Amino acid sequence: MERNLLYPVALALRHTTVHFADRERMFSDYGADCLATASRMSDFLDRHLAGQTWIAGPAFPVADITAAAAIDFARIIKQRIDPDTQPHLAA
């Protein structure tokens, strides 16, 4: 979850917004690639959750907590879950 959703969201934030511009060099193309990776993972998770309640296992796992944090954090880079196209992830 960290590698495929949380890190891409964090890196997209670092490279597509001005929040870190005073501390590091920004690579907007890389940031856009990270945003696309996070978007693909969100789509994957929506399909995955169509058949189960939790991301990994029968009980509430850490993967769901990490995904929830990443999805909430992604709002800063204007990536939101669309209930019409990602109903399982929105639930």
pLDDT of residue 35: 95
pLDDT for position 8: 97
The confidence score (pLDDT) of residue 57 equals 87
Residue ranges per domain, the chain?
Answer: 2-90
Q: Report the CATH number of the 2-90 domain.
A: 1.20.1050.10
Asked if 45 contacts 77 with a C-beta cutoff of 8 angstroms, the reply is no
Averages of pLDDT over each 10 residues, the chain, 91 residues: 95 92 93 96 96 91 94 90 92 83
pLDDT for res 10: 95
Rounded Cα distance, 54 and 71, in Å? 15
